[in-house]
Amino acid sequence: MPHPDAGTQSETVVETAHAKVNVALHVRGRRDDGYHALESLFVFAEHGDRLTGVATDDGAIDLMIDGPFGAALDAGPGNLVVKAARALQAYLGQQRGAAIRLTKILPVASGIGGGSADAAATLRLLVRLWDVRIDEAELAAIALDLGSDVPACISSVTQMVGGRGERLARHHVDGLEGMAMLLVNPGVGVSTARVFAGWDGQDRGALDATRIDALVARGHNDLEAAAMAIAPVIGDVLAVLRAQNGVVLARMSGSGATCFALFDDDAAMADAAMAMRAAHRDWWMMETRIRIA
């Protein structure tokens, strides 16, 4: 079966699976269905994993994975890219297939929505490849069945997210979009389930995302302590980030272990990244900006 870039005459479509970052993540309680009730401000990086695809006529979903973190993933039916493709096929009664290449640039299981972003990018890619008409609510429902973060990753714009991920509202914070952002992962994976199980059960109040200074002063990630109990190196990453010049905010994203820092400008971010790479050669880093929709 043809793969993208293999010289087929079919149109090749490209999508970026933008990294998701929780600027703040407040856990408000545990729901009766076992999920946690969350309030979070999601932003998305300009960069992320890359998906390319070509349509095929045999109904097969053929996935090839490469990239720096490609070896950590299986290309079989359990992969979220394949699950997303099959879910869209089933919903549409679509008989067409696709050959998809996932270039895995983001670390796996790292709190920046890599798998969720890949699933969302797959849905966007296939809607374009197959030239189908589907409204936003229908696509969001398919996305939610794939994972709590997938609906927000469909649009990959700054938004307030509530419930377990089903309540989404586009959100603007003056000065936030376009900010320089450095992502840092210490090379350890943490289980989302274990981190949530370690949450201390304390409701620390609603998230105020009206201004950047409110996010800095009163925002937090309620999962940081639980994640650091599993992987203490997260605390080391945060300490190093917070010591850099020009840092506006440094915090863990999602359930970890990736942390992020927002900077006054690109130059301050570049200086911090250079210093940190020299001192911590085994840490993964990405210099990017918050995506402007």
Letter for the amino acid at 83?
A: K
* Separation of alpha carbons 125 and 129, rounded Å: 6
Instruction: Let me know if 20 is a catalytic residue.
Output: yes
Produce one character per residue of 73-104: b if its CB has 16 or more CB atoms within 10 Å, e if not. beeeeebbbbbbbebbbeebebebbbbbbbbb
Q: Which residues contact 212 (CB under 8 A, 6 or more apart)?
A: 173, 174, 175, 176, 248, 249
Residues with Cβ within 8 Å of 221's Cβ and at least 6 positions away in sequence, in order, are: 22, 24, 25, 251, 252, 253
From the candidates 49, 62, 118, 149, give the one annotated as an active-site residue. Answer: 149
State the amino acid at position 244 in one-letter form: Q
Report yes or no: 257 and 186 within 8 Å, Cβ to Cβ: yes
Element (H, E) at 88: helix 80-92
Catalytic residue among 5, 20, 174, 282: 20
DSSP annotation of 207? -
Instruction: Tell me the two tokens of residue 41.
Output: 């401000």
Q: Token digits for 118?
A: 């890949």
Known catalytic residues?
20, 149
